[in-house]
Amino acid sequence: MKFTLSWLKEHLETDASLAEIIDAMVKVGLEVEHVDDPAERLRVFTIGEVLSAEKHPEADKLRVCKVATKDGVLQIVCGAPNARAGIKVAYAPVGAYVPGIDVTLAKAKIRGVESHGMMCSARELELGEDHDGIIEAPAAAKVGEPVALALGATDAVIEFEVTPNRPDTNGVNGVARDLAAAGLGRLISKAPEPVKGAFPCPQKIGLRFPAGAENACPAFAGRLVRGVRNGPSPKWLADRLRAIGLRPISALVDVTNLLTFDRARPLHVYDADKINGEIHARLGRRGESFLALDGKTYEVDETMTVIADEVGVLGLGGIIGGESTGCTDETSNVFIESAYFDPLRTARTGRNTGIHSDARYRFERGVDPAFMIPGLEKATRLILELCGGDPSEIFLAGAAPIARKTVAFPPSETKRLTGIDVRPEHAEEILIALGFKVSRADPWLVDAPSWRPDIEGKADLAEEIARIVGFDALPAVTLPARGAVETPKLTPAQDRRRLAKRALAGRGLMEAVTWSFTDARIAALFSDGPNWLAAQGLILANPISSDLGAMRPSILCNLVAALQRNADRGRDDLALFEVAPAYASDRPDGQQTVAGGARLSNPARDWAKAAARADAFTAKADAIAALEAAGAKVEQLQTTADAAPWYHPGRSGVLRLGPKLPLAHFGELHPRVLKAMDVDGPVFAFEAFIDQIPAAKARATKTRPALETLELLPVKRDFAFVVDRALAADQLMKAVKGAEKKLISRVTLFDVYEGRGVPEGKKSLAVEVTLQPRDRTLTDEEIDAVARAIVAAAEKGAGASLRT
Amino acid sequence: MSDIDAIERDTLAKVAAASDIAALEEVRVAALGKKGVVSERMKTLGAMAPEERKAAGAALNVLKDRIAAAIDAKKQKLEDAALDERLRTEKVDVTLPAPSSPRGRIHPVTQVTEEIVAIFSAMGFDVAEGPDIEDDFHNFTALNFPADHPAREMHDTFFFPPKQDGSRMLLRTHTSPVQIRTMMTRKPPIRIIIPGRTFRCDSDQTHTPMFHQVEGLVIDRETHMGHLKGTLEAFCKAFFEVDAVKTRFRPHYFPFTEPSAEMDIGYERAGNEIRIGQGAKWMEILGSGMVHPNVLRNCGLDPDEYQGFAFGMGIDRLAMLKYGIPDLRDFFAADARWLEHYGFDPADQPNLSTALSH
């Protein structure tokens, strides 16, 4: 919403400066977004007087002028045809920035003659379009006086944000009322004087709504003015509309636009001679359409309120008028419409048609129903003044929905909600200044004015009082402490994420934060496919772009794509992770936080050959690190070879706590998935489902089990077993561990070998077994007995034989 | 006696002359070994008269000790020399680079969220959460957005296709639905912050379709806007790590608060830096207000009994302001160069007992 300072002053009697007005607007909640103050913008341009103008010795079209300026008499070379002795001009000094030509002036020599500054045209100063010659200021202008002042171009334009709750501030008088309440001056807006009709309104008006839809347009008032002369608006009106960015059209139309911004009251004018029969508001019908004033044809339907005559649709009520009945210079009989349209229906119609008009903007936020008739009177008055003619009486169909709203308001409410102490007398003054009626019963009974549809209850009144007093009055109060020490607040699930992130970053992975959505094609690769995604409700109806159309079913989708983007920039040795949501359905329990990571491994060459290339086991270690940090008992994890289908079928696995609780998938990603994503692999990835980790048992104390430090030296023995090539190493390890539970404290696998010396179809697994004696040193016989038990267990549990 | 002197002189000369451990060992065996010259002399003691034996024995023991000491000393010397000799050959070029291990980083959104959590924890706030995919009730209706109201249009909402019953899910446009979920499941007093992902169908230089918000909610019987101001001022000081922060509250409109306010903080520009807390300019950083009576009612709370404030601010934006990160879009690009430059060391866990950031 834009208005000019002089416009405001028609409604607000005030001595306040522009700066004070802006401050006050911000203070009461009218958020000023932009101020264009020509006086400030044109500060460096001052009046000069041309003392003499001689022809340039080297150029016929140039003149060498002596100009009296605030900087003394200067020589300025000028090409304007009207540069001549005696005129007052707009002088721009050396160093000034001239906005219209986007140039900062320097001292110049023009065809050999020095020139100190410039004399400007209106266009050069962005004061108008005129560029035929330099500005000629009134003769009375004084040398050195600001150009803006001398030309009267001092009217600042203020733009502010209208919040949806304050439709009244879509009119300048609404702004003035707030400012007056805030003590900035006196509200002097006048209630429009009724115009006496010279004859009954010959244009009949109807409301033709089916039962239940009457509220679409409960009231429609109008009046005919006969014998008008339409044409361009007078300068004051055209200037005013131009200042706020509107294009003047004709006096009749401009009057409606003026009232739209002056009083937040949209109106419409029709060429009455083009209306066939009764004009009426009704719901549209499928198949109807009309050519609107914006030059486009719109189809209407039964959800929309249209204005129609007996022939067809003329326009969309409260949104846009039609070309067929538009006013032109030839219009001599004008019908003025002032109606009330339902905010919700207007909003819906506006959305469905995509029409953004000043009328829609106001009706959907709610116009003052009580100002429907006064607005019509005011428009009539202006039309009579500008275009002449004879007015009819007003024809009113229906009744404007003026609901009287009374709020029971204990004055203590302001303090209860804001902490600001306001004297009851002051609170009452504020409410009255804003148009409320206050009766000081207990509690107060406060009537809201008809232009404030937002007022519902006592909290709204507390806000009115507090915002006019000013939020600067808010005390700064500390919340009372809940305990002497505020105790930790993260839930275990939140804490897990924190720990997993720090553990993964500690392993050298970089944390990324990527979109929750991804390309539906990629989402399909990391799930059960497109039908599954749609069935789970994971496809967006209105994505920001087609490559962000689905919620990601796996944390890996965007990480893997990001790896390739980095590789394309030459960064192909990189490990990324993200601890964030993945989505399995559109229900709250379909979202889980996953710690996932992906590695592209091309280690830089290094003299010490220290950096190994990552592989599936790096991803396994990443997954275990994330799970361990997040509190999983990783020593109890089992590994199975049944990872999700987006992993390499032979180089991937699942870490699980028992058969039913998979906690992570890891491994090399499937080459087909990578190819579909144009990713140059291999990529080693993991997904750790940290939300699934069973909660630790609550314990009464933090005491740790006592440390067991045995004095007796452990004994180590190596065994090399030959097993089937397909045997999972884990199975052998388990068998060996189980051979003698008391003595065997550790089993590590230190070699895997296939080839010469090992039969075809077999492999050799070498393990080191640590025996921990507990109460006495083991004898050789005892050690041999354990060794035999180990060999027997390996044979029984894993089909292993000792390698010879 | 001169005999013993001669043995000593002779043996010590040999010790001195031994040029390596093996030669020294030979000297030791020749003198102190079972058949060594000193041992042989010891054997003769048995045949001596007691008086004589005593004197000779003492002299022999002295001889034995001296020789042993000389051998030990020489041995130490030879070993040192041998070690020095070995070390002379064991030289590495210490200017070779140390092996590098990849440096992991924590994303600024995580770091700043943890900073925010640390501060609000110290003020007694719990951390609550809710789902990203929401329904209309929690995201709009319960928060007092009337159906078809223009206020809904201020939120460019991502929708999912309508279900059979006509309802449609959406991506939450703010973290406020978690206010509703919390108030519907927990009795006041409530003091929570809600960090999380939020989504709006908007993309340009300063908007991304996904961003992060942190919401605050306090509900009890006495909290008013003064507490809101006190809390947020304390937060800003702690977060921006400055001694004082100038704030300004301006009336504003949000459907779910009444009264509503936006908070500005004072700042100034110094070159490319933004200094928060001082200066004559104002920057809007958050929206806030007293929870609307309708919202309380929608959650089954009596607005005459319970009251409190709510606020919401952008985590990404706070990160940009504090750490001078220029472009929001870069946050979500996973560009290794950016992550390395703006990311944080994983050991740097935000904590109020140290400087909040390092």
DSSP letters spanning A73-84? EEEEEE--TT--
> Residue A488's pLDDT is what?
66
More confident position, A636 or A611 = A636
Distances (CA, A) of B282 to A235, A406, B246, B247: 38, 38, 9, 8
B338 touches chain A (CB under 8 A): no
More confident position, A489 or B96 = B96
What mean pLDDT is predicted for residues A690-705?
89
Kindly state the tokens that stand for A285.
Answer: 């019908």
Q: Which of B145, B183, B216, B169 is nearest to A588 (CA)?
A: B169
For residue A219, name the pLDDT band (cuts at 50, 70, 90): very high
The reply to whether residue B253 touches residue A494, judged by beta carbons under 8 angstroms, is: no
The complex scores an ipTM of: 0.88
**pLDDT tens string B116-139:** 999 999 999 999 999 999 999 999
Contacts of A435 (CB under 8 A, 6+ apart): A177, A449, A451, A452
Residue A398, classed as helix, strand or coil, is strand
Number of alpha carbons in the 13 Å side-chain half-sphere of residue A463: 27
- Do B38 and B112 lie in one domain? The reply is no
Minimal C-alpha gap between B53 and chain A (Å): 49
- Do B173 and B116 lie in one domain? The reply is yes
Is the distance from CB of A453 to CB of A163 less than 8 angstroms? no
- Do B80 and B130 lie in one domain? The reply is no
Contacts of A513 in chain B (CB under 8 A): 107, 109-110, 331-332, 334
Backbone angles phi, psi at A262, to 5 degrees: -75, -40
Positive or negative CA dihedral for B7, B8, B13, B16?
positive
The reply to whether residue A510 touches residue B100, judged by beta carbons under 8 angstroms, is: no
B58 touches chain A (CB under 8 A): no
Please check the confidence at residue A610 and state whether its pLDDT lies above 80: no
DSSP one-letter code for A290: E
Contacts of A474 in chain B (CB under 8 A): 225-226, 228-229, 249
What mean pLDDT is predicted for residues A513-532?
96
B12 touches chain A (CB under 8 A): no
Positive or negative CA dihedral for A165, A168, A171, A177?
negative
- Do B334 and B231 lie in one domain? The reply is yes
Q: Burial letters for A428-443: b for 16+ Cβ neighbours within 10 Å, e otherwise?
A: bbbbebbbbebeeeee
Percent of chain A with pLDDT over 90: 79
For residue A464, name the pLDDT band (cuts at 50, 70, 90): very high
The reply to whether residue B332 touches residue A514, judged by beta carbons under 8 angstroms, is: yes
> Residue A150's pLDDT is what?
85
Is B170 part of a structural domain of the chain? yes
Please say which residue of B60, B89, B118 terminates a domain.
B89
Q: Kindly report the pTM of this predicted structure.
A: 0.88
Compute the radius of gyration of chain B from its Cα atoms.
42
Kindly state the tokens that stand for B6.
Answer: 């001669």
Please check the confidence at residue B142 and state whether its pLDDT lies above 90: yes
User: Chain B 201-260, CB below 8 Å of chain A: which residues?
Assistant: 201-203, 209-210, 218, 223-231, 233-234, 248-253, 258-260
Kindly state the tokens that stand for A755.
Answer: 């080839």
Is B334 part of a structural domain of the chain? yes
Go through the domains of chain A in sequence order and give each one's CATH number.
Answer: 2-37+156-187 (3.30.56.10), 40-151 (2.40.50.140), 205-398 (3.50.40.10), 405-470 (3.30.56.10), 492-692 (3.30.930.10), 715-802 (3.30.70.380)
For residue A698, name the pLDDT band (cuts at 50, 70, 90): confident
Alpha-carbon dihedral of residues A740, A742, A746, A749, nearest 10 degrees?
Answer: 10
Contacts of B169 in chain A (CB under 8 A): 537, 586
Is the distance from CB of A467 to CB of B258 less than 8 angstroms? no
Q: Which of B248, B252, B284 is nearest to A471 (CA)?
A: B248
Number of alpha carbons in the 13 Å side-chain half-sphere of residue A753: 15
Contacts of B258 in chain A (CB under 8 A): 459-460, 462-463
- Do B152 and B34 lie in one domain? The reply is no
Please check the confidence at residue B2 and state whether its pLDDT lies above 70: no
B333 touches chain A (CB under 8 A): yes
The reply to whether residue A512 touches residue B107, judged by beta carbons under 8 angstroms, is: yes
Of B132, B262, B339, the CB nearest to A512: B339
Please check the confidence at residue A779 and state whether its pLDDT lies above 80: yes
- Do B77 and B128 lie in one domain? The reply is no
Residue located via tokens 């159906």: B147
Domain that holds residue B123: 108-342
Backbone angles phi, psi at B134, to 5 degrees: -120, 170
More confident position, A129 or B100 = B100
What does chain A come to in residues? 804
Pick from A509-523, B192-206, B222-236: least confident: B192-206
- Do B35 and B171 lie in one domain? The reply is no
> How many Cβ atoms from other residues are within 10 Å of residue A746's Cβ?
13
Beta-strand relationship, B126-127 and B190-199: parallel
Is B155 part of a structural domain of the chain? yes
Kindly state the tokens that stand for B150.
Answer: 């223009």
Give which of B253, B257, B292 to mutate to test A binding, by max A Cβ within 10 Å. Answer: B253
Please check the confidence at residue B302 and state whether its pLDDT lies above 70: yes
What does chain B come to in residues? 358
Contacts of B199 in chain A (CB under 8 A): 516
Q: Which of A211, A327, A215, A309 is nearest to A269 (CA)?
A: A327
Please check the confidence at residue B52 and state whether its pLDDT lies above 90: no
Residue of chain B whose alpha carbon sits nearest to that of A507: B104
Residue A584, classed as helix, strand or coil, is coil
* Spatial distance between the Cα atoms of B317 and A467, rounded to a whole number of angstroms: 27
**pLDDT tens string A197-207:** 999 999 999 99
The reply to whether residue B335 touches residue A419, judged by beta carbons under 8 angstroms, is: no
Could you give the residue ranges of the DSSP H alpha helices within A354-443? 358-365, 372-387, 413-418, 424-433
Kindly state the tokens that stand for A227.
Answer: 């014998």
**pLDDT tens string A735-745:** 999 998 889 99
> Residue A55's pLDDT is what?
87
Please say which residue of B89, B123, B144 terminates a domain.
B89
Please check the confidence at residue B315 and state whether its pLDDT lies above 90: yes
More confident position, A611 or B180 = B180
The reply to whether residue B124 touches residue A539, judged by beta carbons under 8 angstroms, is: no
Alpha-carbon dihedral of residues A537, A538, A541, A547, nearest 10 degrees?
Answer: -160
The reply to whether residue B121 touches residue A466, judged by beta carbons under 8 angstroms, is: no
Is B98 part of a structural domain of the chain? no
* Spatial distance between the Cα atoms of A423 and A431, rounded to a whole number of angstroms: 13
For residue B150, name the pLDDT band (cuts at 50, 70, 90): low
**Tally of structural domains, chain B:** 2
Contacts of A241 (CB under 8 A, 6+ apart): A233, A247, A248, A254, A257, A258
Contacts of B84 (CB under 8 A, 6+ apart): none
Pick from A115-124, A380-389, A434-443, A617-626: least confident: A115-124
Give strand pairing partners of A114.
Answer: A109
B262 touches chain A (CB under 8 A): yes
* Spatial distance between the Cα atoms of A16 and A21, rounded to a whole number of angstroms: 6
- Do B115 and B257 lie in one domain? The reply is yes
Minimal C-alpha gap between B294 and chain A (Å): 10
Of B133, B258, B331, the CB nearest to A463: B258
Q: Burial letters for B204-229: b for 16+ Cβ neighbours within 10 Å, e otherwise?
A: eeeebbbbbbbbbbbbeeebbbbbbb
Of A476, A586, A611, the CB nearest to B160: A586
Is B256 part of a structural domain of the chain? yes
B166 touches chain A (CB under 8 A): no
Number of alpha carbons in the 13 Å side-chain half-sphere of residue B292: 23
**pLDDT tens string B8-24:** 888 889 999 988 889 99
Minimal C-alpha gap between A444 and chain B (Å): 16
* Spatial distance between the Cα atoms of A137 and B213, rounded to a whole number of angstroms: 55
Percent of residues in chain A assigned helix, strand, coil, to nearest 5: 30, 25, 45
CATH number at residue B179: 3.30.930.10
- Do B128 and B201 lie in one domain? The reply is yes
Minimal C-alpha gap between A165 and chain B (Å): 7
- Do B62 and B160 lie in one domain? The reply is no
Is the distance from CB of A324 to CB of A293 less than 8 angstroms? no
Residue A250, classed as helix, strand or coil, is coil
Kindly state the tokens that stand for A426.
Answer: 């002051």
- What angle do helix axes B225-240 and B108-122 make, rounded to 10 degrees? 130
Residue B326's Cβ-count burial label (10 Å; 0-12, 13-18, 19+) is exposed
Please say which residue of B89, B116, B146 terminates a domain.
B89
What mean pLDDT is predicted for residues A348-368?
93
Residue of chain B whose alpha carbon sits nearest to that of A569: B335
Of B133, B253, B290, the CB nearest to A586: B133
Residue A721's Cβ-count burial label (10 Å; 0-12, 13-18, 19+) is buried
Please check the confidence at residue B272 and state whether its pLDDT lies above 90: no
Contacts of B306 in chain A (CB under 8 A): none
**pLDDT tens string A298-321:** 999 999 999 999 999 999 999 999
The rounded mean pLDDT for chain A is 93
Residue B342, classed as helix, strand or coil, is helix
> What own/partner pairs with CB < 8 Å and gap ≥ 24 does A322-325 have?
A322/A290, A322/A291, A322/A292, A322/A293, A323/A290, A323/A291, A323/A292, A323/A293, A323/A295, A324/A274, A324/A290, A324/A291, A325/A270, A325/A271, A325/A274, A325/A275
Q: How many helices, marked H, and strands, marked E, lie in chain B?
A: 12, 10
- Do B215 and B293 lie in one domain? The reply is yes
- Do B237 and B192 lie in one domain? The reply is yes
Of A163, A164, A477, the CB nearest to B227: A477
Give which of B111, B112, B121, B133 to mutate to test A binding, by max A Cβ within 10 Å. Answer: B133
**pLDDT tens string A21-69:** 999 999 999 999 999 988 888 889 999 999 988 888 888 888 899 999 9
Distance in Å from the first CA to the final CA of chain B: 80
* Spatial distance between the Cα atoms of B331 and B338, rounded to a whole number of angstroms: 8
Q: What is the 3-state secondary structure (H, E, C) of B24-74?
A: HHHHHHHHHCCCCHHHHHHHHHHHCCHHHHHHHHHHHHHHHHHHHHHHHHH
